[in-house]
Structures are given as C-alpha cells and as structure tokens.
Amino acid sequence: MAVIDLVHMVVIDLVTSCMVHIAWISAVVNSCVMLFNKHTFLPFGFHFMPATIFCQLIVTCMGLLAARAAGLVSFPPPNRSVISVYTPIAISYAFSSLLSLIALHSLPLLVFAVLKRCNVVGVLVAQRVVFGTAIPPARATFALIIAFGAGLAVGGAESGVNALGLVAAVGAIASRAVHLLLVSARARARSPVPESADRSLSKDDDSIVTLIFYSCALSLPLMALIAAASTDWTALRAYQFWGEPAFIVALAIFLVEGIVLQTTLLVCTMRTSALTTAVVSNLKLPIVTLLSLAFVGSLDFVAQPRIARFIAGMAVCTLGGLGYTWAALSAKA
C-alpha cells in the first residue's frame, strides 16, 4: 500500500474515533508530568520514593471512593474473581510507577525520555515471553533501531547517567510493558487468568474506573511493605520543606497527577486502536525534548565532545519509532 494510503487510514482512524483526543492528550499530559516531576517536584529533594507512590495510590483510591459515594462513578465490590484478575495489573502498575520515579530522579530528563522510547521493545519482548506471540521481522528490526538509538544517546550523556537510574529505567520499561499487555488483554477479554474467574466478570467490571481503582487498591499492601522497609521515617519527619507552601503545592499536584496519568493511559490503551496509539506515542519524545530545551535552556548534562552523539542517538531513536509505526501500518493494511 502506498504511503499516502497508510497516512489516509490513520487520519480516518483519528477523525472517526470518538476517543481520538485522548491519545493526543495522553502524549501531552505524559510529557508535561515528566517535566513537572523532574524540574518542580524532585528538586525539593524529597527522595522518599516508595512512601510518595504509596500516598499517591491512597489519594487515587480515596478520590474514586468519594466519586462513587457521590454517584459519579461505579465499580464492583471486591471479590475473589476481581482480585484474581486485577492483582497482576496492580503489581505491574505499582512497580512501573515506582521505578519510573526513581529513574526520573536519577537520570537527566532527556535521557529518561529517550530510554522510555524503548517501551516498544519491552512490549515486544513481553508479548513473546508472556503470550508466545510471534514478532514480525519488520517490527523487530525497527525496535532494535530504537534500542540502538537509545544506547547511542545514553553513551553521549555519559556524564549524567548512573547505574541506579539505568537499572530503574529498564525495570520501569519491563513492568510498564507487562502492565499495558495485561490491560490490553482485559480489554479484549483475553486476560491470562483462570477461565472461571474471567467468566464471572461482567462487562461493567472491565470499565476504566474499575481498572484504575483496583490497580491502585490491590497494589497498596505491596507498596506499604516496600515503603515501611525502605523509608527513613526520622528523616521524613525532619524534612526541611514541610512548612514551605511551594513544596506543599508541588506535593499535592504530584499526588493528584496519578489519577490523571492512569486515566489517559488506560483510556488510550483500551478505547483507542493500538495503531493510533503507536502513531501518537511517537510525539512524546519530540514534545519532551522541545519542552525540556525551552524549560532548561541547554543540554548541560551532556559532555561537550559527546553532544553530537547524544543528538544523533535521539534522532535515530525517533526515526526508529517512525519506522516501527510504518511497519504497524503496513501490517494492518
């Protein structure tokens, strides 16, 4: 099929889908949240990551419970079937959120954004390992190009990269890939859970609100254990900015942003076609790059002799993403 036909197909999908705007909103919101966390919240030196994510999960659950009490939303009460279906989704979401925050704190923003572009690699690997899905050669090739570009960029930013950040980023990519695949499986009623549990769930049980609530609620015990074991409570109580209004506002925004990110991600995954989502997701790296350059004003974290290598890596990564999208379009055609 000619390129113009492929573009036309995407445009038709964008125009006719009632959920089209959520895909674009997801790309912009995700980019803005990354910028806010990196340049507004994390600079306060609030390094209690597990406790922070735990509080974010509580705020999301409390908000949804309040909305249900007001009759604005509905989701089923907990039972064995609900718990068995949503626990894997909850665990993967919790680890993805925690590891992403650790990586964002440990790495320069643009390095983190480039590495997150490797999510497609994580999804392909998870599809192969978890679901046994064959990987089309074209997609595998472009995924490798994305990974090569990311490695090139990270090598160019060597002075600003540390081992903890890289390990956290890889873990975040893997856990996010599993989370998205599990959500997609639920949306297609093909979740890898026992048949008896799957059949007992109604269509209403697979709503966006249900996914958000139980993704957070069922991950609370695990995150509570991690927070209890890793948090220096004396240092937390003695944190110097508790009385600073700017920090309180930044913390409040961070705690609330969890439900916004969850909503845009899940709606994009469940209601917008995977093809459209793949096309729009390619905007994230350029958006973050442009906004970050405008916000920070430089690439100071890149060693001067390596700046060309970093920019080349970003370009290769973006081109690989566009090529992967073309491969997905061709397969659908």
User: Quick one: three-class SS letters along the chain?
Assistant: CCHHHHHHHHHHHHHHCCCHHHHHHHHHHHHHHHHHHHHHHHHHCCCCHHHHHHHHHHHHHHHHHHHHHCCCCCCCCCCHHHHHHHHHHHHHHHHHHHHHHHHHHHCCHHHHHHHHCCHHHHHHHHHHHHHCCCCCHHHHHHHHHHHHHHHHHHHHCHHHCCHHHHHHHHHHHHHHHHHHHHHHHHHCCCCCCCHHHHHCCCHHHHCHHHHHHHHHHCCHHHHHHHHHHHCCHHHHHCCCCCCCHHHHHHHHHHHHHHHHHHHHHHHHHHHCCHHHHHHHHCCHHHHHHHHHHHHHCCCCCCCHHHHHHHHHHHHHHHHHHHHHHHHHHHHHC
Q: What's the CA gap between 29 and 34, in Å, rounded?
A: 9
Q: Which residue type is seen at 169?
A: A
- Residue 61 pLDDT level (bands cut at 50, 70, 90): very high
Tell me what pLDDT residue 289 has: 66
Average pLDDT rounded to a whole number, residues 95-122: 83
The pLDDT-based confidence of 121 (bands split at 50, 70, 90) is: confident
- Cα–Cα distance measured from residue 178 to residue 166, given in angstroms and rounded to the nearest whole number: 19
pLDDT at residue number 140: 86
Sign of CA pseudo-dihedral 272, 253, 174, 150? positive
pLDDT of residue 1: 46
**pLDDT 10s digits, 228-274:** 998 888 999 999 999 899 999 999 998 888 778 777 777 766 665 54
Tell which wins on pLDDT, 51 or 310: 51
Selected residue with higher pLDDT from 96 and 17? 96
pLDDT above 70 for 288 = no
- Domain extent for 289: 3-332
Residue 202 has pLDDT above 60, yes or no: no
Q: Report pLDDT for 126.
A: 80
Can you give the pLDDT at residue 66?
92
Straight-line distance from the first to the last Cα atom of the chain, in angstroms, rounded to the nearest whole number: 7
- Mean pLDDT (the chain, rounded): 76
- Note whether 313 and 152 are within 8 A (CB): yes
For residue 203, what pLDDT is reported?
46
95, 125, 134, 182 from 268: Cα distances, Å? 20, 21, 24, 14
> Would you say residue 200 has pLDDT above 70?
no
Provide the domain count of the chain: 1
pLDDT over 80 (residue 330): no
Residue 77: predicted pLDDT = 87
Average pLDDT over residues 192-216: 60
